[in-house]
């Protein structure tokens, strides 16, 4: 909602520009890219050229110098491309990869990786999840050992968005023999590095236009200058990184839920049953009103938290609340929207089925519902 009080005239102008770009250059290709199972990497380059990838990053590194709310607007407007996979892939670049590089990367790393990433010249991926360690970051097994003026990595990562096409991977690993949150470090591994391979491209229920990979690191040598931040602080860096990632999921979920509701409102006004539009039936009207109310509640919570982040705060409890509530809302709205479409909602030619499939991932990625509840409850009792 561009008229919300957290947004100013500059924000509204940025939203208009972003919306026009998405509708003109991305949305018309959504079906094709979903069917192909991948969108072209030229999308990153185009968005970089237009300054969208760096919209809320400092001009010093090739960004546009906007505030955090500019990134919120980008996340919202990207949902209008009607391809959750594309929105997610861009979000990984802007709110996960670039966020971490900007937060803790050295000046050398910022010049070699952050700047070209913001310009869309290099695509990155963030490698945390492993086959046996998802939400339990401290339980990861990918290891590193010091070797002269560099490090040797060994391990495996999975469910990595942008992993197939990435020019570089940000890899979280632990010192061999370390346990828990101790000894964890973060490294940048460039494509073509010996011992770094894409094991396979994974097939998903939804998010079809996004490439998701399983990656392997076997005696993979990383130069010392590709260490991100301090060697023993990786766990804390990732705990920070998860905060903007989670709010990105919340913002995108609310925006997607609104689009799904708008599609449904249009459908129920046109679909005739028993001699009148189905939107005239009280049972449907009242349920739609409930969904609209839930979306609005999720939006207000999300905007409240976005305002806190824009002011320099990172309230883990409220961010977790926003992610939990917004992603659940998106799944609920998509499910009921499909129900209102009847048999047509289950057909591939109607985009509502894509929202239904794509939204489900948001309750898993970046921290599951159960993890969000644990974070919230720990700060309550």
Among the ranges given (65-79, 232-246, 288-302), the one the predictor scored with the smallest mean pLDDT: 232-246
* Residues written for the chain: 381
Q: Where do the domains of the chain lie? A: 9-122, 125-232, 235-378
- The CATH number fitting domain 9-122, selected from 1.10.540.10, 3.30.565.10, 2.30.30.100, 3.30.470.20: 1.10.540.10
The CATH architecture one would assign to domain 235-378 is Up-down Bundle (1.20)
pLDDT-derived band at 1 (thresholds 50, 70, 90) equals: low
C-alpha distances (whole Å) from 358 to each of 204, 326, 328, 353, 366 are: 10, 14, 13, 9, 15
Report whether pLDDT(219) > 60.
yes
Report whether pLDDT(106) > 60.
yes
Enter the CATH code of domain 125-232: 2.40.110.10
Query: DSSP of 312-345, one letter per residue?
Result: T---HHHHHHHHHHHHHHHHHHHHHHHHHHGGGG
- Among 218, 148, 221, 142, CA closest to 184: 142
Q: Are 86 and 123 in contact (CB under 8 A)?
A: no
Which residues have a catalytic role annotated?
Answer: 245
Tokens standing for residue 174? 């632990």
Among the ranges given (183-192, 217-226, 237-246), the one the predictor scored with the smallest mean pLDDT: 237-246
- For the stretch 19-67, pLDDT in tens is 999 999 999 999 999 999 999 999 999 999 999 999 999 999 999 999 9
């Amino acid at each position: 909602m561009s008229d919300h009080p957290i947004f100013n005239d500059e924000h509204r102008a940025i939203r208009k520009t972003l919306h026009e770009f998405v509708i003109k250059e991305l949305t018309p290709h959504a079906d094709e890219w979903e069917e192909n199972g991948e969108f072209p990497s030229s999308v990153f380059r185009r968005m970089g050229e237009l300054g969208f990838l760096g919209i809320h990053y400092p001009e010093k590194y090739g960004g546009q110098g906007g505030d955090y709310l500019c990134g919120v607007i980008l996340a919202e407007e990207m949902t209008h491309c009607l391809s959750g996979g594309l929105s997610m892939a861009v979000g990984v670049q802007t709110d996960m990869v670039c966020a971490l590089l900007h937060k803790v990367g050295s000046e050398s790393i910022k010049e070699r990786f952050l700047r070209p990433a913001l310009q869309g010249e290099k695509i990155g991926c963030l490698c945390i999840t492993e086959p046996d360690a998802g939400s339990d970051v401290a339980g990861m097994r990918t290891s590193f050992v010091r070797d002269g003026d560099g490090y040797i990595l060994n391990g495996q990562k999975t469910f990595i968005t942008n992993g197939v096409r990435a020019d570089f991977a940000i890899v979280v690993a632990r010192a061999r023999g370390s346990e828990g949150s101790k000894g964890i470090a973060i490294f940048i591994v460039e494509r073509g590095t010996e011992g770094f391979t894409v094991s396979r491209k994974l097939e998903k229920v939804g998010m079809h236009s996004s490439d998701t990979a399983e990656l392997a690191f076997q005696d993979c040598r990383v130069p010392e200058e590709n260490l991100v931040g301090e060697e023993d602080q990786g766990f804390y860096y990732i705990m920070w990184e998860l905060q903007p990632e989670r709010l990105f999921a919340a913002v995108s979920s609310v925006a997607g839920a609104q689009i799904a509701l708008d599609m449904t409102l249009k459908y129920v006004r046109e679909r005739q049953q028993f001699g009148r539009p189905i939107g005239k039936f009280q049972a449907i009207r009242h349920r739609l009103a409930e969904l609209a109310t839930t979306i609005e509640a999720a939006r207000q919570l999300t905007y409240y938290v976005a305002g806190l982040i824009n002011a320099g705060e990172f309230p883990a409890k409220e961010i977790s609340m926003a992610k939990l509530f917004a992603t659940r809302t998106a799944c609920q709205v998509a499910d009921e929207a499909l129900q209102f479409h009847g048999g047509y909602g289950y057909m591939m030619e109607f985009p509502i089925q894509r929202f239904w499939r794509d939204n489900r991932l948001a309750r898993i990625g970046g921290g599951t519902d159960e993890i969000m509840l644990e974070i919230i409850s720990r700060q309550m009792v």
